[in-house]
Structure 1
Amino acid sequence: MLLEDEIQQKSFKSPQQKLAVNLLYTTNWLSNHYDKFFKGLDLTTQQYNVLRILRGQAPNPCSLKCIKERMLDKMSDTSRILDKLVTKGYAIRNECPNDRRSVNIVISEKGLEILKELDFIDEATKDIFKNLSTPQIELLNEMLDNLRGNEIAK
């Protein structure tokens, strides 16, 4: 469906303005799909992101700094997210033996189990993008990478 129809706006001041609005609208649209995946599991997209980072690091521990650098949402409060994951039993926090101010975080068995329950998301994501061909997806990925590489936007 056209963006103009979705947000009931006839025109934009420029193609760049339409692109910005379209990206924001699409981000929210995609986020709503992902929120449905986590409904009933008491999990947020940020917590899911951290669990996937920890699973990728396993069996090695990960520092708070390492997790923050790899988060999709760089503005997330990583400490708070980790506190919730530890409370839920999905992650384990240990003091770093070399530096008591630092902590090592690893995913727990329970965390691995919840991720296994959510493995269907990879297939569901393919379904979300079924209106795009593989070459279109590859081109869109390349274009988005180019957009983020713009030094002026940083």
Structure 2
Amino acid sequence: MSKSRFTIRQLTTAAIIAAIYAALTLLLPIPQYGGVQLRVAEAMTVLPFFFPEAIPGLAVGCFLSNLLGSPYVLDWIFGTLATLLAALWTSRIKHRALAPLPPVVCNAVIVGAEIAYFSTLDGAAFWPAYAFNAFTVGLGEAIACFVLGALLLRALERVPALKHA
């Protein structure tokens, strides 16, 4: 019998994280798609700092919310990729204050490029559109992660069972 990588508890945690991420993204009445967006659920992208099982949970939650909320297949792929890469990077961060940085960078770069591509379909207008969209996506992500995500980390750090080494 082979040993599973995640325990039932970790798989359950990942599933709950995916469900909460998708629900927050799909149910909150604030801009969450397009150039100017603030996904409150992105505050959860700091969770891999404490929980490795948050990595697949966030990726699945992002994929589901993009699948159900965006008509663009590229968004399903690249939006999910940005969240997955950010979660993997966040899991390797050693200092809590830096945990919000990977999601901001990954989403600004990847989602900013994706939105610029959709709005210009390549050509000379891509780079100005990319600069604008990377800035606006990065700004919304910074608010979600450095404000809400930092508060979430601070609250989780006070849970004795979650003391980070």
TM-score range, shorter chain: 0.3 to 0.5
Q: Which has the larger radius of gyration?
A: 1
Q: TM-score, normalised by structure 2?
A: 0.34
Q: TM-score, normalised by structure 1?
A: 0.36
